[in-house]
Amino acid sequence: MEEGRGRLLPGATGMKFVVCEDGREYTERFERFLGGEFQFARAGHFAEALALAPGAQGLLLDLDFRRTPLALLVDETGAPTQPRAAEVQGILLLRALRSRGVRLPALLFADLDDPGRSARLEDELAPLQIVSSSEGLPQIAQRLRQISGRAAPPAA
């Protein structure tokens, strides 16, 4: 199948991922280049993510939500929060989803400077993988296949 045609490959039905972001960049990129294999549904804030989570294979989260209206920002419980929370809204959104029983595997797209912090977050919010901005689409696609049970984990 050619990229960008919007048709799913056989066996891809039901492999939906919720993309939590304040823009459309991730969703559009994933639909264009990975849409033949996976389905993507965009959530611009917590309430949308919570509504879309049932039936999804996993969550794909941006870290920074600075373009989100302040009234839609949440803390780790899903309650309204302060504007400074926009910079780490992806983490807070995932914590809020976890507090509501959403245990889907998650990929957080973030360049965190502290490997120890990354490890703590991955442990606290498991199943979670933090993905660097330097990671390309082939590696992201492999992660999505692993989440959806379509590929074996890489050899250690």
* pLDDT tens over the chain, length 156 residues: 334 444 445 554 558 999 999 999 999 999 999 999 999 999 999 999 999 999 999 999 999 999 999 999 999 999 999 999 999 999 999 999 999 999 999 999 999 999 999 999 999 999 999 999 999 999 999 999 999 887 644 444
Which pLDDT score is estimated for 149?
87
CB 152 within 8 A of CB 62: no
Nearest to residue 47, comparing CAs of 23, 74, 68? Answer: 74
Nearest to residue 97, comparing CAs of 44, 55, 46, 42? Answer: 46
